[in-house]
Structure 1
């Protein structure tokens, strides 16, 4: 056959083979087999070289027994002339290698028969400015390749390089899609706990556990700035989390501070990783940090500066940019959750302050007024002691009535501060409280769940305020209390058929009543919701729903 026609057939066959698979190893193995059959060569192998210049023999065909020695050990370690030229940038085209160092070693150390193969041709694999490795082909007794043969091998190498580039892009896109899907799951899981009253540090600890669950990074480490030094807070290795609480050696402090000042992820080299050693407990984790990325977590204007380190899989070096962007997004979600917890804590403090102010007003409007009247009555009694015994007796009775009223008011306020009656259950306690306000209460309880103390006390406070509003504003002496409990939610409903709330007042952007505002804030502080439904002169319903986690 005409050599030109044979060359075209070879290129066509190789192109078809390269388009039949998205599995890199399978593709390279198949195309190597096709190439050898079409060119009449007998042996071949392909080395892929990563960014750190480490190589891997990913495909081989018909290796002589000498190179198959000890499970292909000669193909897995050591250097050779073709790889040396490739690493130093001196292998840009298909070339003849005078002889093969691996085969020379096989002869010297008597690893087996070389089947007469002593030389091979070497072709670099690249696409544009991206370099991937080398293709080697050989045949027994063949010590030199013709220029036409090298040109054909060069054309095949171009095709292989383009196919590798396409597969890397495909794998990177698949990896990107997978990481962002995992990011969505992580975000949802983190959002489920950020309203549960946790401190920022507790949220960070929980986030570390979630990262271990939702991502396949082999190692994740949390390093926190503590004063002027850094401390290992948590290290997650696939299958477990350790909390060393060990200070990072001072040698690493400088570059860690540089990482903390950045606003994006940073690639971490082996030299920096070596600086982090110093604790036996971390040796196993650090060994996995051959390829790593680091990014800062800034919370509350750097009041707590942390760094997250992730170890990346070597075979995904080209997609580290995607891992870095996802790492930044993970830290943004954690930062938002911590900021949310911080703001919720501040909100709870404001709620407590408003509660104290409300109690102060109630004391002034009720107990203080009664005690003032009691004081005035006592002074009047003093002036009547010598004049009219009957008037004295009447004033003393007034004093007794006022003191009893003051005592009742004070006990009511004390009960609001410390709900001592909750031991009998939320519904029973609210019914007793309503009856003390001279209300006729009907109750309904659906479900049996042991309520967490914070949830029970929040519903108690909401119920108190709602019953107070019925007593003061509804113009009716009946109310209904209903509590529905499920595994995931507690719902309290208090309703009456009283005069209701006017539509204009109910639709105000900010509730005019401090009590209504406080009820909403109490429910929202535990991740719940409070809704108020009212029809003027037809009654009001308070509906409080709080999730149970």
Structure 2
């Protein structure tokens, strides 16, 4: 091999190692590493599946997929079964495997979904770090039906680095989430022990002042201060609930019911299916439910709220509805408040759908659909 070519390969390998060692954004890192790997090997097409503990795969990165596979927003890559994913789930795929006829491509050809650009086969390599597995690296080229052992060895080496990086990024994200929860808990304790107690003391003092005041005007002033203190105390308790929900350890329904009661709302709950969810989904439902119930309290002019949760094997749908005053809103318009926009953003961050329905005199309905 010419020295110049060898130096270029070493340089690319160094860039891949640096990306995997320093990157923090999972999909961005995987996309850039995949691009450089194809440049290094001279291959044309590649994609990376991340696969969770339940065997559900997601298309985390891809490069130069043929139109037959990118048709309908990569739907064929994101859904359905294939040989490599099934073998991975069954723990029968442990090393770089030479050539696999791609079932997704065969189905695309049968469905006349578009041009395959000559891609018929691919090599597949599991992403591992020690005994832990994280997904698959697949690479191929038009009309290529065989990989040399040296090629497979190189792919396996890079795949191991990718697996190690995926583990590092996941651990780092978990540490950040743990630190965030700890900080929320600390702040909730501080607010309860300091500001909450001060507001309670202020309320008692104002009440005593009302009873001791000699003049009606002074008594009214103390009464006004007491009302303000009580209102602030209610707001503070709601804030502490948001930071550290009581009852979430017993499930989302218990937490939302307790929060609604703390706000003074009468809540009717209906459940279909099993009310247990992955951690991220449960936290998202909690935060959206929190915001929706707080909006009911502040704006609906009604104390009655309806909550439903419908969980099946593929998704969860949560509906929160009041029969209050409502407001003018059309699906064609922008969502009118920061809180509602935040609900929508949280839903879409989990590939879900958010729907807002409201009109004067008919109340407001929040509907959230999240795949699980």
Q: TM class by shorter-chain length?
A: 0.5 to 0.7
C-alpha deviation, 1:129, in angstroms:
2.0
1:433 is matched with none
2:119 is matched with 117
1:211 is matched with 241
* Structure 1 range deviating more: 177-186 or 139-148: 177-186
CA distance in 2, matches of 1:69, 1:146: 31
* Structure 1 range deviating more: 26-35 or 7-16: 7-16
Q: 1:267 to 1:19 in 2, by over 3 A?
A: closer
2:257 is matched with 233
1:162 is matched with 164
- Number of residues paired by the alignment? 259
TM-score normalised per structure 1 = 0.40
CA distance in 2, matches of 1:268, 1:243: 27
1:281 is matched with 307
Q: 1:152 to 1:84 in 2, by over 3 A?
A: same
* 1:89 matched to 2:91: yes
Given that 1:234 and 1:242 are in contact with CA atoms closer than 8 Å, whether structure 2 keeps it comes out as no
Given that 1:222 and 1:235 are in contact with CA atoms closer than 8 Å, whether structure 2 keeps it comes out as no
CA distance in 2, matches of 1:111, 1:174: 42
CA distance in 1, matches of 2:93, 2:280: 29
Unaligned runs of 5+ in 1: 225-231, 257-265, 271-279, 291-311, 317-549
Q: 1:30 to 1:248 in 2, by over 3 A?
A: closer
C-alpha deviation, 1:189, in angstroms:
2.8
Q: 1:190 pairs with 179, 192, 202, which one?
A: 192
2:267 is matched with 244
Given that 2:125 and 2:155 are in contact with CA atoms closer than 8 Å, whether structure 1 keeps it comes out as yes
Q: 1:243 to 1:268 in 2, by over 3 A?
A: farther
Q: 1:247 to 1:33 in 2, by over 3 A?
A: closer
Given that 2:270 and 2:309 are in contact with CA atoms closer than 8 Å, whether structure 1 keeps it comes out as no
Q: 1:120 to 1:247 in 2, by over 3 A?
A: closer
C-alpha deviation, 1:221, in angstroms:
2.9
Q: 1:313 to 1:133 in 2, by over 3 A?
A: farther
* 1:42 matched to 2:38: no
Given that 1:47 and 1:56 are in contact with CA atoms closer than 8 Å, whether structure 2 keeps it comes out as yes
Q: Deviations over 1:200-226 (max 9, x none)?
A: xxx9998666333578x9x973539xx
CA distance in 2, matches of 1:211, 1:284: 25
C-alpha deviation, 1:233, in angstroms:
3.0
2:131 is matched with 129
Given that 2:119 and 2:143 are in contact with CA atoms closer than 8 Å, whether structure 1 keeps it comes out as yes
1:223 is matched with 254
SS, match of residue 98 in structure 1: strand
2:100 is matched with 98
Structure number with greater Rg is: 1
CA distance in 1, matches of 2:33, 2:107: 28
TM-score normalised per structure 2 = 0.58
Unaligned runs of 5+ in 2: 204-232, 283-305, 319-345, 351-372
SS, match of residue 58 in structure 2: strand
Q: 1:97 to 1:173 in 2, by over 3 A?
A: same
Given that 2:241 and 2:259 are in contact with CA atoms closer than 8 Å, whether structure 1 keeps it comes out as no
Q: 1:65 to 1:20 in 2, by over 3 A?
A: same
Given that 2:127 and 2:133 are in contact with CA atoms closer than 8 Å, whether structure 1 keeps it comes out as yes
